[in-house]
Amino acid sequence: MFLVDGVYAMIRPCLLWLVYHRMMFSLEGKKAVVTGASGSIGRAIAIKLAEQGASVVLSGTREEALYDLANLIDRSHVLVGDLSSARDVDALIEKAESLLGGLDILINNAGVNRDMLLGKMNESDLEAVFKVNVNAVFGLSKRAIQSMFRKDMAGLLI
C-alpha cells in the first residue's frame, strides 16, 4: 500500500507538469476526458484543457461539482460515474466518444486513498484503492488506445 501511494505521490506532479507544458500548444478541436474532474486538481486540468480549445468530458462522482464546472466551460459534457465500478469504467470511454465524436486525450486523474497504517488496513480498503487507482486506469487507458487506433490517430494518455 505504501508503495502504491508513494508512486502515485511521485508521479502526480510529473503528470501535472506534462499537462501544463502541453498547454503551450493549441488544443483546438481536440477531445478530452478528465476523470476526477469533481476534485480540485481535475477541475484545474479541465479548465486548462478548455482554455486551450479542447472539448472536455468531465467525469467524477460528485454530480453537483461536475455541473458547476460544466457551467464554466463552454464545450463540456458531464458523465457522473464511479470508477470503482467495472460497469462505469467500461462505459465511460464509449459514452465520451459518443458525446465528443472521438477521443484525443485521456487524463486519468481520479484516485482514492485509504490513509492508514498497513497494519490497520483490511482487504476491502486495499481493494477499493486498487479498483480506482489501478484497475480503472488500466481499463480506461486500454479503451482509449483502442478508440484512438480505430481512427488511425495519435492521442495523449496521462
The CATH number for 19's domain is 3.40.50.720
Percentage of residues in the chain having pLDDT higher than 70: 82
Mean pLDDT over all residues of the chain? 85
| 147/155 Cα distance (integer angstroms) | 10
Surface-to-core class of residue 114, CB atoms within 10 Å of its CB (0-12 exposed, 13-18 middle, 19+ buried):
middle
122-126, 138-142, 153-157, range with greatest mean pLDDT: 138-142
Structural domain harbouring 17? 2-157
Residue 157 near residue 149, CB atoms below 8 Å: no
The tally of domains found in the chain comes to 1
62: cell is: 460528485
What's the confidence (pLDDT) of residue 24? 57
Which of the two residues, 152 and 38, has the higher pLDDT score?
38
Instruction: Kindly report, residue by residue over 37-94, the tens digit of the pLDDT.
Output: 999 999 999 999 999 999 999 999 999 999 999 999 999 999 999 999 999 999 999 9
What's the confidence (pLDDT) of residue 2? 45
What mean pLDDT comes out for the span 123-146?
Answer: 92
66: β partners = none
